[in-house]
Structure formats: structure tokens, C-alpha cells
């Protein structure tokens, strides 16, 4: 692939041969790094950090200076689209994101516009361009978005929730209203991810954090069909190479076959499924990303190494595995434990890629 020193992440997603299993971490630019905390303090707050392309670039590159990672991921937030729709996103310390104006009625949904990525979300595209230039072909850049269902959850609930009562009330009492919202969000995500690809993202990922709170039938109805619509609407080739797309539903292991059938290139796995079982179910169709329990990074470096070996062994020989955690790295993990994890993947994986 032209212009990339290390393309094993893209190759693994396309199930092409690699010399070792590529590895990156969800939330690899984040609060477990002291340098991230310093840059965030400089920005003033989290959204100011997201909206400053130079500082967003700086925090994207910080983990790559410390660790031998095979990909960079755009530093941003999944709630940029609802924020651009004018819902008044703000962050309460210790409580996570909140919206001043939650969306709960048909008239409120009808009023929402689909944001123009180069206008209302131009700060994200500027960050992509800045990061891509700064990477100078070292590793590929991953762009991302939240899934329509996950975005809708925050928009309807007005923030984080344990019960999901407002979104499920809408789903079951006024399904047509929720479908209208999800359809608008799918259109917004297609535009947003295609703009990231045009700006330089070489792979994209859709995070369906809350898909796992749905029943099997409702998952397909309210979450999966909209991710499928996005996959169908994405630009899949740019700069003369394929742009792979990965779908990740937390607690989605019962629906792996349906996720793989969307036409995506990779399926993200959380830690609640054995990777060998996942491979036997869908590994001939798609690449798999995952799936070490993020809490394993609290263990000793020796135990982390052992876990990496067990997961590599579970996946077995051949390409099609992107090593990752089963969800984002926790903020209080020691950075040297993250290093032990990443180094172990590169140390023990070559034997699975020999002819």
C-alpha cells in the first residue's frame, strides 16, 4: 500500500497476510496518560480539546510516542453529531455527558437537521487532516462514529443512564418517532464518516456501545438495520486503497452472524466471548477485533503476557485478527501495563503468521 510504513492493521482487516498481529487500544489517547491530562488542562475542558485540531492531533499522537501501536485513532467524542444538531452538550464532572435539550417527541425529532460535516463539524475534519499530515505515513488513521442507536440513547435520555427507560419508552410506545430519529442519525453518520474518509481517515469504526441492552429482535430493528444502512452508504475506497469498516456492539456476541452479514470488514468483540468461538462462527467472512478484558491491564505484566498468549492461541493461525481490548482502557491503568500488553502482542504473534 502506497505511503504507509506500517499497514498491517489495514491488511489484517482485509484478511491479507501480515508478519505479526496488529494491535491498538480503544481510548488509547486518554486519561491513563499523564501527558494527556496536561494537554486537556491546557485546553480547559474536554470539548475544547476535541474542537482544537492542533491539541486533538497532539493527544492522538501521544500514545504512539510511548507504544509500538499499529494504528492511530482520531481523538474526538461519539457525541459530536448530536452536539452539532444543537442539543446543548455539556459535561458534568464525574457524571459524564449531558444534553440541555433532550429529544423526546415527534415534533422535536422533525426539527432536527442533519449537520454538514464541513460546516458544523469542520473541527473534526480539520483534526483528521492535521493528524493525517502529522502521522506522515507512520501508521493508518482510524476515524469513527457512534451508532445511531447509541447516539439516540444519549439524545433521548439526556445523558448516561442505567435503566434506558426513556429511549425504550419511545421505542415501544412511539416506534415511528424513534425510527425517524434513527434514520436521520444514519444519514448524518454516513455524511460524517465519508467526510472523515475524504479528509484522510484510512479506516472507520462504528461504536454501538448500547446495542447490547436490546432484545434480539429489537437489536435488529433499532440498531443493526441502521448500521447496515451506514455500511451500504460508506465510501469503501480512497487514495487507491480499500477503506475497511469495523462494527462494534458491546455485549453483541449473540448477534455476530447478523453483524457480519452487513458487509462490514471487521467485527469488534468485547471480552464476554471466546475469540476462537467467534472465529468459528464468522471468521471466514470478516476480520475480528479484540478482545482482552480491559481490567486485565490491572494485572501484573507477566499475567498480561499470559492472557495475550491465550487470546492469540484462541484465534489461531492466519490473518484476520486485530488485537485490542474488549472495550476502552480504564483511566487508572499504569501506562507500563499498556506497554506490556502491546509488546506482548508483537512478541508472541509472529508464530501464528508463518506459512
**Active-site residue (options: 31, 129, 236, 241):** 31
39 is in an annotated binding site: no
45 is catalytic: no
327 is in an annotated binding site: yes
68 is in an annotated binding site: no
104 is catalytic: no
**Active-site residue (options: 9, 32, 36, 154):** 154
29 is in an annotated binding site: yes
110 is in an annotated binding site: no
154 is catalytic: yes
Q: How far apart are CA 106 and CA 118, in angstroms?
A: 28
173 is in an annotated binding site: no
**Active-site residue (options: 8, 9, 32, 77):** 77
129 is in an annotated binding site: no
27 is catalytic: yes
40 is catalytic: yes
**Active-site residue (options: 40, 101, 241, 281):** 40
Write out the binding residues. 27-31, 77, 154, 209, 327
Residues labelled catalytic: 27, 31, 40, 77, 154
Write out the binding residues for substrate. 27-31, 77, 154, 209, 327
Amino acid at each position: 500500500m502506497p505511503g504507509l510504513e506500517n499497514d498491517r492493521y489495514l491488511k489484517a482487516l482485509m484478511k491479507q497476510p501480515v508478519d505479526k498481529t496488529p494491535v491498538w487500544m480503544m481510548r488509547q489517547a486518554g486519561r491513563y496518560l499523564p501527558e494527556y491530562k496536561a494537554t486537556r488542562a491546557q485546553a480547559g475542558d474536554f470539548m475544547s480539546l476535541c474542537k482544537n485540531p492542533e491539541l486533538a492531533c497532539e493527544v492522538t499522537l501521544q500514545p504512539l510516542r510511548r507504544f509500538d501501536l499499529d494504528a492511530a485513532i482520531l481523538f474526538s467524542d461519539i457525541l459530536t453529531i448530536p452536539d452539532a444538531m444543537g442539543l446543548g452538550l455539556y459535561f458534568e464532572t464525574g457524571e459524564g455527558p449531558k444534553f440541555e435539550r433532550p429529544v423526546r417527541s415527534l415534533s422535536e425529532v422533525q426539527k432536527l437537521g442533519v449537520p454538514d460535516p464541513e460546516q458544523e463539524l469542520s473541527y473534526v475534519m480539520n483534526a483528521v487532516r492535521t493528524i493525517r499530515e502529522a502521522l506522515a505515513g507512520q501508521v493508518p488513521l482510524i476515524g469513527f462514529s457512534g451508532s445511531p442507536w447509541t447516539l439516540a440513547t444519549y439524545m433521548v435520555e439526556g445523558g448516561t443512564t442505567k435503566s434506558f427507560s426513556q429511549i425504550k419508552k419511545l421505542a415501544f410506545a412511539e416506534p415511528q418517532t424513534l425510527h425517524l430519529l434513527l434514520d436521520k442519525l444514519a444519514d448524518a453518520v454516513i455524511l460524517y464518516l465519508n467526510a472523515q474518509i475524504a479528509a484522510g481517515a484510512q479506516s472507520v469504526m462504528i461504536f454501538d456501545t448500547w446495542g447490547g441492552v436490546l432484545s434480539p429482535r429489537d437489536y435488529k430493528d433499532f440498531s443493526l438495520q441502521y448500521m447496515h444502512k451506514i455500511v451500504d452508504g460508506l465510501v469503501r475506497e480512497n487514495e487507491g486503497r480499500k477503506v475497511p469498516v469495523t462494527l462494534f456492539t458491546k455485549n453483541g456476541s449473540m448477534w455476530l452472524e447478523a453483524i457480519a452479514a452487513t458487509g462490514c470488514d471487521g467485527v469488534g468483540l468485547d471480552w464476554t466471548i471466546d475469540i476462537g468461538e467467534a472465529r468459528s462462527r464468522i471468521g471466514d467472512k470478516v476480520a475480528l477485533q479484540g478482545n482482552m478484558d480491559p481490567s486485565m491491564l490491572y494485572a501484573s505484566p507477566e499475567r498480561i503476557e499470559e492472557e495475550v498468549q491465550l487470546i492469540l492461541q484462541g484465534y489461531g493461525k492466519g490473518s484476520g485478527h486485530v488485537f485490542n481490548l474488549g472495550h476502552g482502557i480504564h483511566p487508572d491503568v499504569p501506562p507500563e501495563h499498556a506497554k506490556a500488553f502491546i509488546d506482548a502482542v508483537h512478541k508472541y504473534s509472529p508464530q501464528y503468521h508463518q506459512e
